[in-house]
Amino acid sequence: MSHDYSKTSEALSRLNDQQYRVTQKDGTEPAFRNEYWDNHEDGLYVDVVSGQPLFSSTDKYDSGTGWPSFTKPVVADAVHTKTDRSLWMPRTEVRSTGADSHLGHVFDDGPANAGGLRYCMNSAALRFIPVSDLEAEGYGEFRSLFETTTTTTKEHTS
């Protein structure tokens, strides 16, 4: 199935002020006061602008920073990086490849056993789709990412 994950004026008009500031003006939302930093539900995180699949809850971890953090994108080409020199030191900015939305930054202080990267994302740049809604929302191809997690969870609750 082919998807067009580009930015459209219609998609931009649906964003609230915070989502627009973060994704289009390279903003940052407050730590610990954003929607997904403490979300532990299984599902997929997509670009709030285009719907492009970006991250899976299977790669999410608590970095202690107050923003949702992931060890890797759901597919390698979902994001691209560029140098951000807006602060006193250069950082590596992460943007979606489809709509070129600003998502956050990537750092090299993530879990060593998962590659050592920490994709520190803004919740305002993401939309969360629970596993139970993947098919209905058109993301059924990603359900297999959660089959082991769902099976393990069911085994532990039985």
Active-site residue flag, 120: yes
CA nearest 53: which of 107, 15, 119, 97? 97
Token reading at 127: 């939309």
Report the C-alpha gap between 112 and 79 in whole angstroms: 21
Q: Name residue, tokens 């003006």.
A: 25
What 3-state DSSP class applies to 79?
strand
| Calpha distance 100→89 (Å, rounded) | 23
The dihedrals phi and psi of 93, each to the nearest 5 degrees, come to -80, 145
Q: Do residues 128 and 60 lie in contact, with contact meaning Cβ atoms separated by under 8 Å?
A: no
- Which residue in 22, 46, 74, 120 is the catalytic one? 120
CB 106 within 8 A of CB 125: no
Residues acting as catalytic residues: 120
